[in-house]
Amino acid sequence: MARFVIFTNTNWSEAPRIRHQLTRLLLKNKHTVSFFEKAKFIFRTSGSDFTISESDLLLVQIRHLINHQLRVIPFFHWLNSIILKYCIRQRLKRGFYDSQTTIINFAYDYYFLRDLFPNNKIISIINDDFEALSRFPFHQHITWALRSTCKMSDAVFCVSTPLQKRLQNWCRPELFLPWAVSPYQVPSVDVTKKNILLFWGSIDNFLDLQMVMKLSDSLSTHHPEWKLFLVGPAEHPENRPIIAKQLSPYTNIHIFDSTPLNDLPLDQTLAAIIPYSRSPAADAVTLANKSMQLLARGLPLIISGMPAFIEKPFVKRLDGEETIEQVLGFCLNNFNTMQPEIKKFIDENSPESRLKQLGLVDDKQSSV
């Protein structure tokens, strides 16, 4: 059993992302994890600094002085780091780490971690195009922090090919994609009973509603018995009624709250759809977070947006050269012949492969 400290700009209670999945993977391998959540503003003192969420998982709360978007010059980064380092040092007195603890950092602006952990292995995982997401027309302050964070790390990983290309200026980043949390399961092969296209994710601003409507119209014309299922939470709940109202004229679209994948009618589902619009965040996606779970159930992926998305025989584009009807016809006619490729991809992207990639376990230790 090993110890890990994970730094993030995310709360544990948020919708699962790769940092949550990696934490779960480490816990499943009988390791202990201290998960530093998103820093709160220094004057917000409510709540406990430590929460034992579950066995071997400690949630840690810290404070910062200046929002990362507002640190427009290095001096502001330095000033903020004084507060952060003080808070982290105070929390570390609890004794949940030693010189053998591995530090995993998801924060692009925690360049100061080497000051706190001079002898520990520090792995940084860059998970967003933070420069493109800048709220200002300039992003030199973000570039400065990102470059400094990469340079202080022992190893750098990233979740998309555009990010990998960007970070090559400062380090030798390795691609680190989501993995299959469950093994491949053979789906129902009777395509005559498949009349559902499933979106399983956050129903929010990332969705290209115009593409969803276009898909709905195509189904009404060519497959009137088919349905579109949009299943998931709303990251911004105030947007959900707006989206529902926009889609209400389309009677073949059905919106559901969060539902476990196993509780959905997968035997009737032909494919999973990921109809994202173009945006800086979506443009940096090489594999959407829940793609592996959908593929593990034998569902091909029908996508839009995300120009850097993986190119595989079981990934079809709604915004490519083919018409929607050609894409649906391909999935219908090739559902069964795509299964060996899907299974191979899932097998190659197992939990063990990611742990070995990070150098956290060897063949004898891997037990997932």
Q: What is the pLDDT of residues 274-327, one digit of tens each?
A: 999 988 888 889 998 899 999 999 999 999 999 999 999 999 999 999 999 999
What are the structural domains of the chain? 3-179 (3.40.50.2000), 191-346 (3.40.50.2000)
pTM, 2 dp = 0.85
Residue appearing with tokens 């850097």: 308
Nearest of 291, 287, 340, 276 to residue 311 by alpha carbon:
287
Extract the tokens encoding 137: 């027309």
pLDDT band (50, 70, 90) for residue 351:
very high
Mean pLDDT for the chain? 91
Going 84 to 85 to 88 to 94, the CA torsion angle's sign is negative
Given this model, what pLDDT does residue 279 score? 86
Nearest of 144, 160, 62, 75 to residue 109 by alpha carbon:
144
Q: For residue range 88-103, list pLDDT tens digits in order.
A: 999 999 988 999 999 9
Q: Give 302's strand partners.
A: 273, 316
Long-range pairs for 164-173: beta carbons < 8 A, 24 or more residues apart: 166/129, 166/131, 167/126, 173/126
Given this model, what pLDDT does residue 75 score? 87
The four Cα atoms 284, 290, 291, 295 give a dihedral, to 10 degrees, of: 170
Which residues, 6+ apart, have CB-to-CB distance to 282 below 8 Å?
206, 276, 305, 306
Angstrom distance (rounded) from CA 257 to CA 104? 33
In degrees and rounded to multiples of 5, residue 120 shows phi and psi of: -90, 155
In this structure, are residues 142 and 312 in contact, taking their beta carbons and an 8 Å threshold? no
Nearest of 365, 346, 345 to residue 355 by alpha carbon:
365
